[in-house]
């Protein structure tokens, strides 16, 4: 048994088909989006779209592109998967397989699913400790009381600085680096949130009881046999080193918190690594500095949206070019209102002049 395995939930054919059907029928109906009216919304976006599940880091980061677009995407069950997105996932998978093998196992309970995530954190941290590098490291924590989960593309040791550097991989159509100023705000917020969550876990400042409550998990429920057996082998249970170890969330979480405590805080310099979409080759990296005020203000504002304390905004007029490539443009209330306002202003100006 190798310790260098990560786990993934085995998805049955029935589950795959039902996901596909739900996705395709709700996104588009003969190119007419439906049920996207923002009126009469009673529940907060968090309650409505996530229920007792976690928010993802990307749920926060993607608001920086256009909040209204994110809201519409949630209403119709997701954005259409583009060619670039498919190419990006393929490259991410190939990169992960360079570091870890992945085995799929059947899951029976919600606790099993979170058990897999925690197991993957432990394997990822071991890899970081031994190899000074890990890929696809699960991370979690709270933003304004909301539970957030994410997966960091890569954490590695930069020899010169001697610090852990968090990086995200992006794919590009052209084999050249973009201008430094063109690092998207959504990418910056994504990386800054990863760092914030990573460093909080290192400080041990996390209350696992609240996580179980929020996600409606029973921390003492023993995992289903397949996962329980893997974890027992992983912990050398068979050799009698840890007699009495119960494979459940509470015990895995203790190991996770303890293992994070062995690391130092991550570097303030964050990395965006670019790969060429066509063949996955490395283009190079751009770096930027973590800004605590900037990320705190952004997360406070974003959390208000998720909690339903404010409505989503569309893009400002100077970013109206985003509407031209937006799949929700035809029905977007924000855009239609702006067009109306603009034509009223033009009419008023024509009357004055």
For 62, which DSSP code?
G
| DSSP codes, 300-317 | HHHHHHHTTSSPPP---G
Where does this chain touch ligand SF4 (CB under 6 A) — which range of 63-71, 126-134, 190-198, 246-254? Answer: 63-71
| Residue 322 in the binding site for ligand SF4 (CB under 6 A) | yes
User: Helices then strands (H, E): number in the chain?
Assistant: 13, 8
Alpha-carbon distance 148 to 76, whole Å?
22
Where does this chain touch ligand SF4 (CB under 6 A) — which range of 103-111, 186-194, 221-229, 329-337? Answer: 329-337
What the block records as the tokens of 98 is: 């360079």
For 104, which DSSP code?
E
Q: Which of 326, 341, 348, 351 binds ligand SF4 (CB under 6 A)?
A: 326
At closest approach, how far in Å is the CB of 332 from ligand SF4? 3
Q: Which of 122, 211, 249, 315 binds ligand SF4 (CB under 6 A)?
A: 315
Alpha-carbon distance 198 to 225, whole Å?
31
Where does this chain touch ligand SF4 (CB under 6 A) — which range of 145-153, 239-247, 261-269, 318-326? Answer: 318-326
Where does this chain touch ligand SF4 (CB under 6 A) — which range of 61-69, 120-128, 218-226, 236-244? Answer: 61-69
Q: Which is nearer to ligand SF4, 69 or 127 (CB)?
A: 69
At closest approach, how far in Å is the CB of 200 from ligand SF4? 32
Find the farthest-apart pair of alpha carbons in the chain and give their distance in angstroms, rounded. 89
Q: What angle do CA 202, 210, 110 make, to 5 degrees?
A: 95
At closest approach, how far in Å is the CB of 186 from ligand SF4? 13
Q: Which of 66, 102, 169, 231 binds ligand SF4 (CB under 6 A)?
A: 66
- Please identify which residue in the block is written with the tokens 């067009």: 339
Beta bridge partners of 104: 8
Residue 279: CB atoms within 10 A of its CB come to: 8
At closest approach, how far in Å is the CB of 113 from ligand SF4? 32
| DSSP codes, 181-237 | GGS-HHHHHHHHHHHHHHHHHHTT---HHHHHHHTT--TTSPPPHHHHHHHHHHTTG
Where does this chain touch ligand SF4 (CB under 6 A) — which range of 45-53, 89-97, 162-170, 326-334? Answer: 326-334
Give the SS3 label for residue 141: strand
- Contact characters 67-86, ligand SF4, x per CB under 6 A: -xx--x--------------
At closest approach, how far in Å is the CB of 334 from ligand SF4? 4
| Residue 335 in the binding site for ligand SF4 (CB under 6 A) | yes
At closest approach, how far in Å is the CB of 325 from ligand SF4? 8
Nearest alpha-carbon partner for 72 in 107, 118, 34, 103 = 34
Q: Which is nearer to ligand SF4, 72 or 274 (CB)?
A: 72
Alpha-carbon distance 79 to 259, whole Å?
36
| Residue 255 in the binding site for ligand SF4 (CB under 6 A) | no
* Residues contributing to the site for ligand SF4 (CB under 6 A): 66, 68-69, 72, 314-315, 322-323, 326, 328-329, 332, 334-335
């Amino acid at each position: 048994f190798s310790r260098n395995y990560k786990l993934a939930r085995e998805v049955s054919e029935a589950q795959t088909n039902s996901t596909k059907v739900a996705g395709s029928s709700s996104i588009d109906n003969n190119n007419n989006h439906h049920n996207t009216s923002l009126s009469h919304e009673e529940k907060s976006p968090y309650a409505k779209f996530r229920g007792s599940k976690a928010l993802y880091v990307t749920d926060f980061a993607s608001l920086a592109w256009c909040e209204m677009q994110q809201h519409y995407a949630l209403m119709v069950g997701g954005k259409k998967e583009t060619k670039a997105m498919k190419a990006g996932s393929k490259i991410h998978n190939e990169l992960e397989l360079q570091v870890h093998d992945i085995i799929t196992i059947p899951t029976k309970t919600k606790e099993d699913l979170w058990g897999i995530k925690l197991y993957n954190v432990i394997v990822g941290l071991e890899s970081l400790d031994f190899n000074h590098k890990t890929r696809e490291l699960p991370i979690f924590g709270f933003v304004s009381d909301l539970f957030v989960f994410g997966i960091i593309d890569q954490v590695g040791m930069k020899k010169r600085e001697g610090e852990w550097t968090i990086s995200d991989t992006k794919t590009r159509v052209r084999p050249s680096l973009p201008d430094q100023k063109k690092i998207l705000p959504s990418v910056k917020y994504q990386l800054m949130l990863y760092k914030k969550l990573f460093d909080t876990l290192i400080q041990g400042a996390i209350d696992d009881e609240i996580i179980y409550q929020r996600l409606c998990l029973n921390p003492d429920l023993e995992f289903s046999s397949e996962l329980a057996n893997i974890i027992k082998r992983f912990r050398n249970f068979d050799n009698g080193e840890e007699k009495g170890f119960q494979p459940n969330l509470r015990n895995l979480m203790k190991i996770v918190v303890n293992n994070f405590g062995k690391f130092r805080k991550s570097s303030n310099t964050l990395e965006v690594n670019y790969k060429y979409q066509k063949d996955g080759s490395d283009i190079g990296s751009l770096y930027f500095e973590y800004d605590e005020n900037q990320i705190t203000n952004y997360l406070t504002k974003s959390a208000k949206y998720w909690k339903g304390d404010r409505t989503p905004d569309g893009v400002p007029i100077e970013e109206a070019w985003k509407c031209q490539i937006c799949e929700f443009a035809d029905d977007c209330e924000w855009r239609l209102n702006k067009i109306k306002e603009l034509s009223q202003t033009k009419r008023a100006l024509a009357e004055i002049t």
